[in-house]
Structure 1
């Protein structure tokens, strides 16, 4: 199954708080119902970005480790704008 994303953002090289700032700026330019895939890495971004987007009312569709290293490797966060 191939998912379709309206937007893709790679913030694996960014650190907090820029990870959330960049994710929020992307979500702000999207229209309701559109879906974004956000690549992120690190304990803080993995905790803060999905939590903060959910607090703003957006739907966290999924979050998955890319290579099975759930602790340190890059993850793919899929979010749908409210």
Structure 2
């Protein structure tokens, strides 16, 4: 079955809620599914990718999409 892709905008949130929202979104997905996460630079951009990788997910892309706004593409890891 092909993977699906979802999006999550956490630009209005602050740490640690940024990670919590990303983690909860990934938990609703199947292994291998992709999640595009839009977040702000600074603490969210520093902490969210590292925390998601620590939980077994793979950050496969990170790019600036606007002034101070980045987008991560994350592949959900295995259970």
Instruction: Give the TM-score normalised by structure 1.
Output: 0.86
Distance, in Å, in 2 between the alignment partners of 1:81 and 1:21 is 15
Helix, strand or coil at the partner of 2:46: helix
Q: Which structure features the higher share of strand residues?
A: 2
Matched with 1:75 is: 70
Q: Distance in 1 between matches of 2:10 and 2:18?
A: 6
What corresponds to 2:29 in structure 1?
Answer: 30
Cα RMSD (Å) of the superposition? 1.4
Structure 1: unaligned runs, 5 residues or longer: none
Where structure 2 has 5 or more consecutive residues not aligned to the other structure, the ranges are: none
Shift of 1:5: 5.7
Aligned length: 75
CA distance in 2, matches of 1:25, 1:34: 14
Q: Do the aligned residues in 2 keep the contact of 1:24 with 1:53 (CA within 8 Å)? A: yes
After TM superposition, what 4+ stretches of structure 1 lie above 4 angstroms from structure 2?
A: none
State the secondary structure of the residue aligned to 1:66: strand
Distance 2:55 2:27 in 1: 11
Indicate the residue corresponding to 2:46 in structure 1: 47
